[in-house]
Structures are given as C-alpha cells and as structure tokens.
Amino acid sequence: MKLTIAKKFFVALLLVGLNACSTHQNAPPSSKIAVAPQIDTACNVTAVSWSHIFNAHCHGGNNIHGNQFDPIYCTQSAQQTLCTEIQQNHTNRVVQATGRVCYDAPLNHAIGSAGENHGRLVITNAGNGTAITQFPVAAGQCPH
C-alpha cells in the first residue's frame, strides 16, 4: 500500500514538472525587449549652476530670460531638490550633440511664475551631473 501511494505521488510530481516545462516552452516570445533604465550621475546644483539659474530664471536676477520660477524655488537648496525631482521623474531624456543631457519632467505642482508644471534640466553629461540650467516649461520636449 505504501508503495502505491509513493508511486502516485511520484507520478503526480512528474506530471506537474512536465506541465510546467511544456507551458514555458510553448509560451510566445515577448514582443518587448527589456531595456535597462538609463542611469546618469545624480544632478548637482553647484554655486555656478545656481548663479546662472538665479540670474536667468528668478525674479530679481540680472540677466532675466526665458521662463521664471515661482519665488519659492529661488534658493539653491530648492533648486537642488527640483533638480533631483526632474531627473528622477523625467518622461523625456535627450543626449544633445554637445553631450549634454536634457530632461523634461511633468510635475504634480506648479513651479513657474506663470503656472508651468513641467521642469527642464540640462546637465553636463551622463557621467557628470553638474546642472547647467533648469527652468519651468508648460510642456514639451528637449531640443536635440
């Protein structure tokens, strides 16, 4: 009697194993190829970066051009936090002809003085996360 139970258990185990193998072998190949996410050096808003961002994109700067940040984003620490947020949440990443990396990210909050809720960040290159500039945008994609 014990032999019969052991045989039944062995046969059941064998059938489960064979079924698992045949199921995986007959599965259709995936149409998507897994691609590892691009990992760039973490962005860093240096004193030089901050000087440019403040002078070009914060009210009160001496070289105002382009879109302006809401004043609550016009500190170096706020810009560092925003830099990280844009880089981590980007929906568009472009390596420009110069080697600079540009990111666009939709954000869940307005960052611009005109209510813009997307941010654009440009870093030196994938291996050097020094921010060159960042500013609010309504939407769009980085230029190539």
Model confidence pLDDT, tens digit, residues 123-132: 999 999 999 9
Please tell me which residue, 143 or 53, carries the higher pLDDT value: 53
pTM given for the model: 0.71
**Exposure class string for 63-101: b at 16+ Cβ within 10 A, else e:** eeeebbbbeebbeeebbbebbbbbbeebeebbeeeeebb
Share of the chain above pLDDT 70, in %: 74
Domain ranges of the chain: 47-137
Model confidence pLDDT, tens digit, residues 57-103: 998 777 777 799 999 999 999 999 999 999 999 999 999 999 999 99
